[in-house]
Each structure stands twice: as C-alpha cells, then as structure tokens.
Amino acid sequence: MKFSSLRKLLDEKAAFFNRPEFIENDPIATPHRFTKKQDLEIAGFFSAVMAWGRRTTIIRKAEELMQLMDDAPYAFVTGHQEKDRKRFFHFRHRTFQPADVIYFLEFLQYHYRLHDSLETAFTRWMNKDDRTVENALNGFKAYFFSLPHEKRTEKHISSPAEGSACKRLNMFLRWMVRKDECGVDFGIWKNIKPAQLVCPLDIHVSRTARLLGIIRRKQTDWQAALELTEFLRKLDCRDPVKYDFALFGLGIENKVNKLFT
C-alpha cells in the first residue's frame, strides 16, 4: 500500500474510533466514571493492568474492584487500613490474584501519601528531551517494586529493559497524557508530551501493522513497539499514538486482509 493511501486509511480509522461511542466497550470506561484526578489515575491504572482477555470481562472485573474500594478509589487507597484488605481475598482476574491486588494497594497508598499524582511515579525518571517514555517505564517498575513483595507480582508490571512491548502501561500513559477534543483520552498529565508516548502493541495491533507493512520485526516486543511508533511519527510527529485507535479498530474489525484481496 502506498504511503498516501496508508495515511488516508489510518486517518479515517483514527477519526472513526476516537469518539465517545468507543468508551462504553473499552477498559477506559471504568475510569470515565470518575472526575477526581486521583480517582481517574487509580481506576485507569487497575483497568490497564488487567487489560488482557475479553474486553467485557476486563470492564466487569475493573468495576468489581472499584466496588470493593467503595467506588471511591483514592479515598480508599489513602485511608484504608490493613484489615480492610481482607475484602480483596477473593478477587481474581486471570493471573491477577489477591496477593497482587493487595501489593498494588500497598504501593499506591505509599505513593499517594508522598505525592499528589501518580504522574510523578513515571516522570521522575525522565529527562525532558527523552525521545520516548522508555526511561519512565524502566524507572516506574523499579520504583513500584521498591517495597517488600512477592516475586510473582512482578509479572504484572513490564518494562522495556526486559524487552517487553509494555502494552498495558503504554495504554495507561496514552489515557493519561493524550488530550484532544474527542473525549476518549483524559489528558490530565502535563509533564509527558504526547510525542514521547509509545504506541501500545498487542497481538491484534502488531498483526494489523505487519499486514499493512508498517513493522517488519517478527517479535512483538519493545523494539517492535518503537518501530511502529517511529512510523506513526511520520504521520503525526506531535501525536503519533492517536493512530492506536486506527490500528486497534482495524484489528477488531478484522478487515485488513480484505484490503489486499
């Protein structure tokens, strides 16, 4: 496909999927129920971390988790005591087990007692002129697991240093950083530029990107995520990750093959 045709396709699909109607059936639906910044951050963080499997299940489990926090995540995180964590002993989502939830709550309480926003957990590791959020993601994982924890919980937070594409964290950062007039992403963080974001890369997006000839790397890893993002910068250097809507949308439509037949 010619570059001009590809640009036209991705622009059209980005505009089609980046709209309020997209929210209801996406994990971003749960944080959209809140207005307080810290509630958005916490609901968004848990929703993104649990974002694997069917989207309907992800949303249902995220809603269940918010109800266990009395539907006031920031107040619960900052004010709960150890005895209050017993209510999470039966919460499970795939491999996300009670011990993982409890450690996440412990870390978030520790962080929010020192900082007003979860943004600093990422930006403190970045330089303003960093091309991407790679340093932020590596620093965040080290910081997140700086408290005593079970080794098994580490699998729920990935990092570029491990070669991971970091799909879920990159999706969370997209939610927090991107801001436009479409009403899907929140844009409540101001110290990371949209241009520094890396496109969330999962199996569906990577398959679509390969069929379109955007990426050539066979592994779905950090280098593939960078390859994809570098191409998207050619389309919009200030906001390359808006095309996540297009690639994800084409993937769920499952119509990419028809473009070449």
Reported as a single tens digit per residue, the pLDDT across 193-238 is: 999 999 999 888 999 999 999 999 999 999 999 999 999 999 999 9
Number of helices followed by number of strands (H, E) in the chain: 11, 0
How many structural domains is the chain composed of? 1
Rama region for 213: left / alpha / beta (φ>0; ψ in -120 to 50; rest): left
Reported as a single tens digit per residue, the pLDDT across 123-140 is: 999 998 999 999 999 999
90 CB burial (10 A radius; 0-12, 13-18, 19+): exposed
pLDDT of residue 261: 43
pLDDT of residue 97: 95
How far apart, in whole angstroms, are the C-alpha atoms of residue 57 and residue 74? 23
Reported as a single tens digit per residue, the pLDDT across 94-103 is: 999 999 999 9
Cα separation values, 224 from 158, 207, 259, Å = 15, 11, 23
Name the token pair of 58: 């992800």
pLDDT of residue 1: 79
pLDDT at residue 244 greater than cutoff 50: yes
pTM above 0.85, yes or no: yes
For 31-58, what is the mean pLDDT?
Answer: 96
Cα separation values, 137 from 8, 133, 142, 182, 252, Å = 32, 6, 9, 27, 27
Q: Please report the DSSP string for 191-203 in residue order.
A: SS-GGG------H
For residue 236, the enclosing domain spans 3-260
Reported as a single tens digit per residue, the pLDDT across 74-118 is: 999 999 999 999 999 999 999 999 999 999 999 999 999 999 999
